[in-house]
Amino acid sequence: MLQALFLEDAPPTPSPSTPSSGQWILFFDGASRGNPGPAGAGAILVHVSATQSSVIWAVSAYLGVKTNNEAEYTALIQGLSYCRSRGINCLLIVGDSRFVLDALRAGRRPRHPRLIPFFQIAHVLRASLRECIWRHHRRSYNRMADALANWALDHAQSQVFQPPPVVPSSVLKALSSDIGAATLLRDTTE
């Protein structure tokens, strides 16, 4: 059932408004209060060109009771699913979960049975990308996605923000520092 939510057979359909030059950055984060406990996932897709940075899409998803790692994987899967649906195939992926990033970089399945389906979906979605750069950031440089995950928890609801994205002010405040940090750290290209 989880796979049916994120893996569709339909080919990607590039949007007429999808920019073709510049860099795509996907920030993701998950949060769980209790671990397991009420959980939220946040993902935000930003397009950076030579002249501007634009929030293209964002999601804040309330997940019910989940672990932090399930929330992290869900945020990444939602972001990768959106990118796949728009034909975006070169992506810088930024998150603060070393557990998730290291597993996907190495192609190493998690040991916990509850996490295996999440890993498998993320792995398939990642394989649809032509180029993927993974970046681990401390939480202080992943504030946009963190704010989206916590917004879902605070409001116990989900929200998709699509163009023109009107995102919560707490997310916009973090935009410039997160993008700046994402472009400065060392690449791990796959």
Lowest mean pLDDT among 2-11, 30-39, 58-67, 176-185: 2-11
* Percentage of residues in the chain having pLDDT higher than 70: 75
Mean predicted confidence (pLDDT) in 168-187: 61
Mean predicted confidence (pLDDT) in 94-104: 95
pLDDT bucket at 51, cuts 50 / 70 / 90:
confident
User: Which residues, including other chains, have CB under 8 Å from residue 135's CB and lie 6 or more apart?
Assistant: 92, 93, 94, 95, 101, 182, 185, 186, 187, 188
pLDDT bucket at 184, cuts 50 / 70 / 90:
low
What confidence score (pLDDT) does residue 128 get? 93
Q: What is the pTM of this model?
A: 0.80
Average pLDDT, the chain: 84
- What pLDDT digit, counting tens, does each position of 57-98 carry? 999 999 999 999 999 999 999 999 999 999 999 999 999 999
Does pLDDT of 9 surpass 50? Answer: no
Structural domains in the chain plus CATH codes: 22-189 (3.30.420.10)
**b/e 103-127 (16+ beta carbons within 10 angstroms → b):** bbbeeeebeeeebeebbebbeebbe
Cβ atoms of 107 and 122 within 8 Å: the answer is no
Mean predicted confidence (pLDDT) in 9-31: 70
Mean predicted confidence (pLDDT) in 129-154: 90
What confidence score (pLDDT) does residue 36 get? 96
